[in-house]
Chain A
């Protein structure tokens, strides 16, 4: 690949359009990743160290541990849905646009 083609990647990377896309992706995905990891480890740590509390019944034989477990499923579905919505509304269009510009410049 020629020097000029290497230049296309770096110029694209430096463009404000790409930087905005990058910010929009990272600004959404990174905090959400930290959030679900913290929430998951909270659950695991409670399961290991707060046995008494999580054994407290809520309704009938359903206790806090069971409710927390089901909430992990719910939060996983919700986060997947939120990310899909963010990507299809905010990321797909600019990412396609940049892709076409780059491929045109590269002569593909």
Chain B
């Protein structure tokens, strides 16, 4: 169970990222976070693993207070939280294999990893994971030689290497075409349903939300506007979330 209570982030210079956001995510839920660009979706997700330090509020996960964790504790918490990014965030010049193995960095011994040495079990796991996302043949290619869809699969493989209990996906399909988007979402659902991983996924397309999400929260201008199942998003609700001028497509 992930509990977010009164979370607020004010950036340096006074820009408000999110304001007084509270919600709960039961284990193994697929939660979609929707809202316009700049509505605070990324800020919210990054506050959960503290890539961004929240200004106020409290986040607790399975009884552990994430907001109060020390650097060392945070490291141990982060390795159980996988993250998938809109722009994939792969290290371009490194091999696909190295990018995937980077998911184990929180577990392996720091000294050994500095000389690029990973335990045999990790390497086998990486091969298996790449196979699971369907790009086992690309293991030795450089990351920037891959197409966008393939790069996002590497990103998902990296998150899966962490043996995560929760995955934060920040607009994982926003830079991909609809067909690829669908296949990437399938992998996330696969992790959610078969590996029992909680998924928090920010999305643009309501279509995808309807198809994959168990539950939806919506942000507008940093504030929580809506909490409910995808079916509860009526036209009226839609206009509240996206603004009065918005037309519903798809």
* A associates with B: no
Chain A interfacial positions (CB closer than 8 Å to B): none
